[in-house]
């Protein structure tokens, strides 16, 4: 019995020891599996504040404004003479440019006398570049220093400036010579407002002027009856006539249609092919000899007149090849181009003695 108990106790003790040894020899338990931690995101770069701009740069940036609109100015070409205002209201200034003081205004349709055209080398934005120098309108007035005007209204110094206003800070719009008289309008201090003389001038923007329409030429009055000189009746243009046959006794070759202008005179020389010739009033040289085969065309009535004659022209062989024009058409240009002279043959001179 005892032996059985001791066996049971020994068995239990040996089993306990073996269990302890097995426990001590086992490897340690691994840690529990967990998800890997996410890597921390890189921090966003912080904006570095820009360095403050210098005070001068900031001031310049504030002052720099958008460019102003430039004035559209067409190129104008004015010639001295009358011109018409095409703007509704045009300022007349004492100097070219906006620096010139306003003297008066002109309305649309008024006419001014242009003296010259001036182009500004330097002008501000919006200011016209071309200016017209005009004769000062009679509606405007000018100013002079009354200290240089005598009691009789005559200018005392050799030259006296005309100004656009009562003061030396106003522009000069002309001069007066010594002895010239002025028409006083009113005074302001020691300055006197006077009517403008003919040589006073002013300035307007040229782009607002246009050439004035040509004025109709007034008809000249007829002279008194006692002064009217008798004039020959105007000769109408002769109708075109057919080419005549060759003049008897003249061998004309070759022939062509020609037109000449000159003065008609009578010839009595026996070596000329015809009795009338066309000559130049400036050089007194022969242009052509005139011949007509039409009975009702009397060339003698054109003596002393400047005419334009057309017809066949040829050379006369028997008269040293001088040109002869057979008249077909005559146009009278001047009825008194040269004094009318009558030539007589030697026999006629003998009869008139």
d(CA 336, CA 49): 103
- pLDDT of 253: 53
> What CATH number is given to the structural domain containing 164?
2.30.30
- Express each pLDDT in 88-126 by its tens digit: 889 999 888 888 888 888 999 899 999 998 888 877 777
Domain-located, residue 324: yes
pLDDT (tens digit, 9 = 90+) per residue, 62-80?
Answer: 555 545 555 556 777 788 8
Domain-located, residue 220: no
Q: Which of 195, 211, 227 is the last residue of a domain?
A: 195
Q: Determine, yes or no, domain membership for 276.
A: yes
Q: 92 or 244: whose pLDDT is higher?
A: 92
pLDDT tens figures, 137-171: 888 889 999 899 988 889 999 999 999 889 888 88
288 domain-assigned = yes
Q: Is the pLDDT of residue 172 over 80?
A: yes
pTM above threshold 0.85: no
Q: Mean per-residue pLDDT for 289-299?
A: 81
| Whether pLDDT at 217 is above 70 | no
Could you give the number of structural domains in the chain? 2
Print the domain residue range for 273. Answer: 252-345
Q: Is the pLDDT of residue 51 over 80?
A: no
Torsion angle defined by CA atoms of residues 83, 128, 135 and 80, in that order, rounded to the nearest 10 degrees? -50
Q: 190 and 257 share a domain?
A: no
Least confident stretch, 46-50, 69-73, 104-108, 249-253: 249-253
Is the model's pLDDT at 212 over the cut of 50? yes
What CATH number is associated with residue 256?
Answer: 2.40.50
Classify residue 316 as exposed, middle or buried by CB count within 10 Å of its CB (0-12, 13-18, 19+).
Answer: buried
Q: Which residues of 268-307 are buried (b: 16+ CB within 10 A; e: fewer)?
A: eeeebbbebbbbeeeeeebbbbbbbeeeeeebeebbbbbb
Confidence class of residue 201 from pLDDT cuts 50, 70 and 90? very high
Same domain, 265 and 338: yes
Residue 274 domain-assigned? yes
Strand arrangement of the beta sheet that strand 142-145 belongs to: 172-177, 159-163, 142-145, 191-194, 184-188
* Lowest mean pLDDT segment, chosen from 190-199, 249-258, 289-298: 249-258
Looking at the chain, the whole-number percentage of residues with pLDDT higher than 90 is 11
CB count within 10 Å of CB 166 equals 18
pLDDT score at 53:
55
Mean pLDDT of 127-136: 89
229 found inside a domain:
no
Whether 269 and 334 map to the same domain: the answer is yes
Mean pLDDT of the chain: 74
Residue 41 lies in a domain: no
């Amino acid at each position: 019995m005892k032996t059985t108990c001791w066996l049971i106790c020994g068995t239990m003790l040996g089993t306990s020891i073996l269990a302890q040894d097995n426990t001590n020899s086992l490897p340690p338990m691994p840690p529990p599996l967990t998800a890997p931690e996410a890597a921390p995101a890189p921090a966003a770069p912080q904006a570095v504040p820009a360095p403050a701009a210098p005070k001068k740069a900031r001031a310049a940036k504030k002052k720099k404004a958008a460019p102003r609109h430039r004035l559209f100015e067409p190129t104008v070409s004015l010639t001295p003479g009358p011109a018409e205002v095409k703007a509704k209201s045009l300022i007349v200034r004492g100097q070219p440019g906006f620096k010139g003081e306003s003297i008066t205004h002109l309305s649309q349709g008024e006419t001014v006398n242009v003296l010259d055209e001036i182009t500004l080398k330097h002008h501000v934005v919006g200011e016209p570049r071309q200016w017209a120098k005009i004769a000062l309108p009679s509606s405007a007035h000018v100013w002079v220093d009354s200290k240089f005007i005598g009691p009789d209204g005559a200018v005392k110094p050799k030259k006296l400036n005309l100004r656009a206003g009562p003061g030396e800070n106003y522009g000069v719009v002309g001069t007066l010579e010594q002895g010239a008289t002025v028409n006083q309008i009113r005074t302001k201090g020691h300055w006197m407002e006077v009517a403008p003389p003919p040589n006073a001038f002013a300035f307007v923007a040229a782009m607002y002027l246009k050439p004035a329409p040509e004025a109709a030429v007034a008809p000249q009055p007829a002279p008194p009856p006692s002064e009217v000189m008798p004039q020959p009746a105007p000769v109408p243009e002769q109708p075109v006539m057919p080419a005549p046959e060759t003049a008897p006794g003249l061998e004309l070759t070759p022939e062509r249609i020609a037109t000449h202008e000159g003065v008609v005179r009578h010839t009595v020389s026996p070596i000329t092919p015809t009795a009338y010739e066309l000559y130049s009033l400036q050089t007194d040289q022969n242009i052509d000899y005139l011949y007509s085969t039409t009975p009702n065309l009397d060339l003698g009535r054109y003596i002393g007149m400047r005419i334009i004659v057309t017809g066949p022209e040829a050379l006369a062989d028997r008269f040293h090849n001088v040109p002869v024009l057979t008249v077909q058409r005559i146009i009278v240009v001047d009825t008194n181009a040269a004094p009318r002279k009558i030539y007589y043959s030697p026999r006629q001179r003998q009869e008139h003695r």
